[in-house]
Amino acid sequence: MKIPIILLIFVMFFGTFFIDDSNALIGPSAPREDPSIPEVRLQIQIRNSEGVLVNYIEPSIFYFTNMYLLHQHLNEKENKTIIIIDGKSYEQIKFEYNFFESSGGQRASYSLWEDGFSVLTSRFNGYLSEPGDTMKATWTITRTI
């Protein structure tokens, strides 16, 4: 079946106007903030197969994809500290994950997972990974008590 060239041009040119930040055609996007989690910090270190640091990333864009499971995930963590900011008490949770790259490819996001679901996703400028690379992701999450 041949697609008329005019239809193809229409879709290519005008399609970008219909899929924008409002996500009218693809549904609502995940929220980027939540009052119960006032701060999220992530530091990612990528080392090559020889252990040399080849990339360091601190993403600033986060998407909360499942708050219930995120809090469940945080409840299971042990390294928690109570901090006070402007007279309010918060719980600060620090933890890390290590990942061994077996296949390589482009990476532009990293997620926390709970029960098979992504609960918090970070986005950043991508990098190319190689087989044998290791990634250390250090999370610091502050949440209300």
Q: What is the pTM of this model?
A: 0.75
Over residues 64-117, the pLDDT tens digits come to 999 999 999 999 999 899 999 899 999 999 999 999 999 888 999 999 999 999
Q: Which two tokens stand for residue 71?
A: 């809090």
Report d(CA 75, CA 143) in Å as an integer: 11
Q: Which residues contact 127 (CB under 8 A, 6 or more apart)?
A: 46, 55, 57, 106, 107, 108
The domain locations on the chain are 30-144
Cα-to-chain-centroid distance, residue 114: 14
Residue-averaged pLDDT of the chain: 83
What's residue 33's pLDDT? Answer: 74
Which run of H or of E encompasses 17?
A: helix 5-18
